[in-house]
Every structure is written in structure tokens, then in C-alpha cells.
Homo-oligomer: A and B are copies of this chain.
Amino acid sequence: MLIVQKYGGTSVGGLDRIENVANRVAKSKREGNSLVVVVSAMSGETNKLVEYASHFSKTPAKAEMDMLLSSGERVTAALLAIALQEMGVDAVAMTGRQAGIKTDGNHTFARIESIDTTAMKSALDGGKVVVVAGFQGISQKGQVTTLGRGGSDLSAVAIAGALKANACEIYSDVDGIYTTDPRIEPKAKKMNYISYDEMLELASLGAKVLQNRSVELAKKLNVRIVAKSSFSNASGTIIEKEIKEMEAVLVSGIALDRNQARVTVREVSDRPGIAAEIFTLLAKEQINVDMIIQNASTDGTTNLGFTVPESEVERAKEVISAFDHDIGGMDFDENVCKVSVVGVGMKSHSGVAAKAFSAMASNNINIEMISTSEIKVSMVINEKYGELAVRTLHDAYELDK
């Protein structure tokens, strides 16, 4: 099998850990696999470099930041290749450029445009393990670019897609995707499978592990991801295309997002376009609006509700103040959180939302806002009930079974 493995910062966060990774790679190679291994910078390195830059400037030029930040992954890639060679595993280290990763010129947040797999394929054909510095590529102008936070996952998924690899194993310090955060609900179970869409919902709703951009890319390229731990031999969670069996599962996971604030704009005059104006201005200020609720107007005015990340509340206030002649006032509540139920099974089953609402009601948890999509139900509630809500819903859908 041709497998792309990716090891994150904590998995390579020290020389002993790199040695551990080398052992895992060597084992997989001995089992007969062809391997491309994508690595992040050693944990802490990227932050150190960012601090260095911030010593000189609050707004360092992005091209120079890319040259700076891309160095950490190169160090790890070279060291891992050296460790593998010492174990007798033929290995070669490649920078993003050498691995053929071509991006647009959007420095610090570049998009992979294409991958010229010639060098990687030739090394793989020669029986070598290819170790690639993640997070980076090269622009048409020949400048080093980086892919933004979580960029090494993107590198790995893109390479797996380009090489048509059998799987893309993403290693971190957790051993898979859980039905909910085990620190909140100890009965949380690791899932064996989850669909791209469910993973996307869970990730955007607060589950860490995998970032949305990588899951989106995996979905687009049809790359099977396996989320695993580099510190154990547990089997991990497979993230792949939705298959029939997945739909049999009504709900796959519960997510909690504490970093939410609720904004209510009262008595918005019911002239056309005002909501559009408000949200356009919020978008211009790069405020991430999440749930938006507007009820039908009864008296010529309406209340407009939405949520934003807590850290963006102040800026949201400023934006909305500009509309004071068109609105009755505004309320903000930072003591809220969002709890969400996710599952592709919802598409073909009814009553999922109703079960959530009655579970909340039976625990006297008041639901302030509701938003649903094809495969999720999200509820905004008082922050203090967040963990109780997670456990309640986990029980209600019998996710520990």
C-alpha cells in the first residue's frame, strides 16, 4: 500500500520523539508499505520564530514570514530522514519545493495549486521513504510560501491525493475522533468511521484534531484520512466518503463550542437590505458571524440574532453602532455556548432534533437559539449548562453504546 503519514508538532517535539516516529515509519515500511512522511516543525519552534519576528515588527512582511516559518519543518524533515537512514531505512528528505508543491502567491495562507510528483515518485520507485517538510510550497515566482495554521495536514492530504495513496494517516497526541470531548463526558467513545461532512461539522463546531481546510481537501480529492496517535498503537478513526453503514448511525458526535457570544439587534426596521448591510459590514471587518436567526416580522420591526466569537464582540459592537438610527438597540451575552449534535443519519431520520430539545427540557436547560442543517442541530444555551448539555445529549443518543 502507498501511505502518506503526517506527524504533528507534538509527535516530533523532541529528539526522542523523532526517534519514536522513525521507529513507527520503519515498522510500516517493513510491513511492505510505500511511504511519504510529512512532518511539522518541532512543537514550540514556530511560535519561537513568530516571537522573534514580533520583536522587530507588529506587521512583518508576509513573504519574509514565510521564509522564516518554513525553516522549522525543514529541520524536522532532515532529522527524521537521518534517523531513518541510521536504522537502515533508505530515506530522502525534501523541502516543499523539492516535493513539487506549487502554491499561489498568497503568503502565509497560500493555497496548493498543483503538485509535481516526479521527484517523489522517482524516490518511491527507488524504494525510498520520502520525508517532506510540511506546511510549505513554492509560488510561481519561486518564493517560499506557507499554508497557514494546520498547513502540514494540508500538505499531507494534497500529496496523498496527487499520489492516489491508499490512505493519509494523520498522527497527533490523540488517538482518534471521539463522540464528544472525553474530558467532559468520560463515557465518550472513539469512532471507527466518520464521514467527511460530519467531520467538517464537528471541526467547525469546536472539535480540535483536524482542521476544516484539510478535511475539505480530503473530501474533494477523495483521500481517506486515518486520525491516529503517535504515542499508542490504537487503531484510530477513519474519515472517508459517506457510506451506507454510516447512515444507519443516527448521531455520530456531540460538539461544544464555548467561545461564543450572542448578539441581538432589537427592533430592526423592516426596510429591505438592512440585514445585508449589517452583515456586509461585519464581514468587511472580518468578524466571523456564525448562527443567524431572524423571525418573521409582525409589527414592522424584527429582532436579529446571531453569534460571534467572544473575542470579536467589541468590534461587533462598534460596527452595529453605525446603524443606531435604524435599530431599537442591541444586547450582548458572552455567557453562552453552542452545543451541537452531528450525524449524517439525520438526513434520512426524523425526530433527531425533537429528541435533543426534549433532552434539554428534561434537564431544565433553556435553549436561546436554534440552528439546523441537513446533518446537525446546534443550540445556543447559557454557558454554565454547556457540559451538562453535552452529557445529556450523549446519553440521549446512546453514544456510549
Contacts and interface: CB of A to CB of B under 8 A. Distances in A.
A330 interface: no
Contact of A52 (B79, B86, B95, B119): B79
Contact of A83 (B22, B57, B70, B144): B57
Interface string A65-100: 101101110110111011101100000110101100
A92 B78 contact: no
A78 B74 contact: no
B49 A75 contact: yes
A61 interface: yes
Given A143-B98, A144-B95, A68 B75 contact: yes
A72 B63 CA distance: 17
Nearest to A57: B86
A143 B97 CA distance: 10
Contacts of A18: 56
Interface residues of A, number: 40
A138 to B, nearest CB: 10
Given A93-B63, A95-B67, A52 B15 contact: yes
A93 B79 contact: no
A116 to B, nearest CB: 11
Give the number of copies in the complex. Answer: 2
Interface string A1-28: 0000000000000010011001000000
Contact of A78 (B65, B83, B97, B98): B65
A98 B61 contact: no
Interface string A206-249: 00000000000000000000000000000000000000000000
A182 interface: no
A68 B81 CA distance: 10
Contacts of A77: 67
Interface in A155-177: none
Contact of A67 (B56, B74, B119): B74
A93 B143 CA distance: 10
A15 B143 CA distance: 25
A53 interface: yes
A56 B64 CA distance: 31
B86 A64 contact: no
B57 A68 contact: no
A78 B64 contact: yes
A328 interface: no
A83 to B, nearest CB: 4
Contacts of A119: 142
A82 B60 contact: yes
Contacts of A401: none
A183 interface: no
13 contacts: A15-B55, A15-B56, A56-B79, A56-B83, A57-B82, A57-B83, A60-B82, A60-B85, A60-B86, A61-B85, A63-B93, A64-B93, A68-B82
- Sorted from nearest, which 10 A-B pairs have the closest CB atoms? A68-B78, A71-B71, A57-B86, A56-B83, A67-B78, A60-B82, A64-B78, A64-B81, A15-B55, A56-B82
Given A57-B82, A60-B85, 7 more contacts: A15-B52, A19-B56, A52-B75, A52-B79, A61-B81, A65-B78, A67-B77
